[in-house]
Amino acid sequence: MSVNRLERVNALLKRVIGEAVFRVMQTDDVSPGLITVTGVTCGKDLRNATVRVSVFGDEALQKRALGHLVHHEREFQQVVNREVRLKFTPQLRFVLDHSLEKGDETLAIINQLEANGQA
C-alpha cells in the first residue's frame, strides 16, 4: 500500500474517531470535551490501528478517560466499520499521547523567558 494512501486512511480514521468520541461517550462521567484524538497510526495491512489521545486534566483523569475509551472500543469499531469503507476494519488500540502537554510546557518556558527579557 502506498504511503500516501496510508496517510489518508490515518487522517480519515482520526476524523471519524474524533467525531465519534462525543456520540459514544455522552453518558460517561468523563467529559468527551476533555479528550482530543491527536493521531492514528494504521498498520500497512490495515488490520491494527493505534489511536493516540490527549486528555486535559491530571494523571488520574487521564487514566480514567483512557479506561472509558478502552471500555467503548467495540462501539468505536462499529462506528469505523459503518462510516469508513475499507477491506478490513482495523482493530483499534487507544494510548495516551503526552505531546500536547510537553508543547504547553515548552511554550510556558518560552513565555517566561520573554517576560524576563531573556529571549
Q: Give 23-37 pLDDT, tens digit per residue.
A: 888 877 777 778 889
Domain extent for 32: 3-115
SS3 call for 59: helix
Domain of residue 77, CATH code: 3.30.300.20
Contacts 24+ apart (CB under 8 A), 27-34: 28/68, 30/61, 30/64, 30/65, 30/68, 34/61, 34/65
Angle at 37 between CA 31 and CA 38, to 5 degrees: 135
H/E element, 52: strand 48-55
Q: Which residue has the higher pLDDT, 119 or 55?
A: 55
Count: domains in the chain: 1
The band of 1, judged by pLDDT with boundaries at 50, 70 and 90, is: low
- Note if the pTM is more than 0.75: yes
